[in-house]
């Protein structure tokens, strides 16, 4: 017998409001719009809606509206750097390898998939390097400017400084400000972001105002007019790590992505790669890997029993010295016929050793 859910009653019990269906335009910004809309719908009227909200009297700091402001401030820079990381213009990312495993069998087929790659001349990369550096710094600047604006909005500070140097000096007095929950729960993210903001400022100014930089052998060489003996050299890989760090940080602060275990490891790894830049102690994070696993589950004795312990053991065997996480695609097959298919992101993979994948299980993860 089919049961009809009383959505009006459920919404009322949750203190929420039932509203129209969520829709979004296509493309990257359509996805951001959808994420913001879903986050907004998820909030009920009583209490903070997510870990990204803080109560201060009757004011909500870093609420949905504030997070949307951050996305609006960063729309061009996020688009530019996101495109570059998608096409792997700079090193520093993690290629995803796919493993095909048949449940109950020891053999695993390995498929190397480095993603979509754009063939770009070294001259073009060299010309883009300074642009990528300044765009990355601009994201850091706008993040801290956003924090100052939100504190000004609720009366924590009287004015928002606009010059880079003034903002840098203002941020040194941490007692005046209230920070986003991501920075209070993951304190290292604030400390290292602030260090990057302060230490990269002189070089950003030299690039923008004096065109003082050079690119040689895939390295960005920076110096300052105040002291020619002090400089900074960034490898192509380090620039890639800087890009990926600031993009992930901005999207996490805006509530578009969650800093799960795998992403936290990546952020720490990127920061360790930038140790000569931020000047803080190493976090000692090995490069975490994210792989895709395709598990084929044949029908045996009338059921589709998937051995997830076998998957985890195989991944650990292949990468014994690294932190590895995996997305999981499960295909239930009967002979040559595909019966059903599921997809689990790494944080959603079932923790059981064995799972019976009948057609009614894990409906939220079914793939048509």
| Model confidence, pTM | 0.67
Count other Cβ atoms within 10 Å, centred on residue 128.
18
How confident is the model at residue 250, as a pLDDT?
95
How confident is the model at residue 348, as a pLDDT?
85
Vertex 191: Cα angle to 231 and 183 (nearest 5)? 140
Count other Cβ atoms within 10 Å, centred on residue 175.
4
How confident is the model at residue 48, as a pLDDT?
35
How confident is the model at residue 169, as a pLDDT?
81
Q: Is 308 helix (H, G, I), strand (E, B) or coil?
A: helix
Distance between CA atoms of 290 and 152, rounded to whole angstroms? 40
Beta bridge partners of 91: none
Residue 283: left (phi > 0), alpha (psi -120 to 50), or beta?
Answer: alpha
Domain positions in the chain: 1-46, 51-90+117-278, 289-365
pLDDT < 70 positions in the chain: 1-60, 85-96, 106-127, 227-229
Note the pLDDT tens digit of each residue in 74-128: 988 888 887 776 555 555 444 557 778 887 776 666 665 544 444 445 566 666 8
How confident is the model at residue 366, as a pLDDT?
94
Rg (CA), the chain: 24
CB-side exposure of 196: number of CA atoms within 13 Å?
A: 30
In the chain, the percentage of residues whose pLDDT exceeds 70 is: 74
Structure tokens at 147: 């924090």
């Amino acid at each position: 017998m089919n049961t009809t859910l009383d959505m009006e009653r459920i919404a009322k019990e949750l203190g929420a409001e039932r509203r129209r269906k969520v829709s979004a335009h296509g493309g990257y910004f359509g996805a951001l719009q959808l994420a913001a809309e879903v986050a907004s719908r998820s909030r009920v009227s009583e209490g903070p809606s997510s870990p990204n909200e803080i109560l201060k009297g009757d004011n909500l700091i870093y609420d949905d509206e504030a997070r949307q402001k951050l996305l609006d401030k960063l729309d061009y820079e996020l688009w530019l750097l996101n495109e570059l990381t998608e096409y792997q213009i700079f090193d520093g990312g993690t290629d995803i390898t796919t493993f095909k495993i048949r449940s109950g069998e020891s053999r695993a087929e390995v498929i190397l998939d480095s993603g979509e790659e754009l063939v770009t001349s070294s001259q073009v990369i060299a010309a883009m390097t300074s642009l990528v550096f300044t765009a990355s710094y601009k994201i850091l600047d706008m993040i801290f400017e956003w924090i100052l604006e939100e504190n000004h909005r609720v009366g924590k500070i009287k004015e928002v400084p606009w010059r880079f140097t003034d903002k840098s000096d203002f941020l040194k007095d941490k007692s005046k400000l209230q920070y986003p929950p991501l920075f209070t729960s993951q304190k290292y993210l604030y400390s290292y972001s602030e260090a990057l903001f302060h230490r990269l400022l002189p070089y950003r100014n030299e690039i923008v105002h004096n065109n003082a930089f050079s690119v040689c052998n895939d390295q960005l060489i920076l110096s300052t007019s105040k002291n020619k003996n002090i400089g900074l050299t960034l490898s192509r890989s380090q620039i890639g790590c800087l890009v990926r760090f600031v993009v992930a940080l901005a999207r996490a602060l805006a509530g578009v992505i969650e800093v799960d275990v795998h992403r936290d490891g990546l952020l720490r790894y990127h920061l360790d790669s930038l140790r000569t830049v931020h000047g803080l102690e190493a976090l000692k994070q090995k490069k975490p890997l994210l792989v895709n696993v395709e598990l084929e589950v044949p029908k045996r004795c009338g059921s589709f029993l998937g051995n997830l312990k076998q998957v985890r053991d195989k991944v650990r065997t292949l990468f014994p010295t690294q932190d590895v996480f995996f997305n999981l695609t499960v295909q239930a097959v009967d002979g040559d016929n595909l019966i059903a298919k599921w997809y689990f992101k790494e944080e959603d993979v079932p923790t059981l050793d064995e799972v019976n994948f009948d057609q009614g299980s894990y409906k939220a993860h079914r793939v048509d």
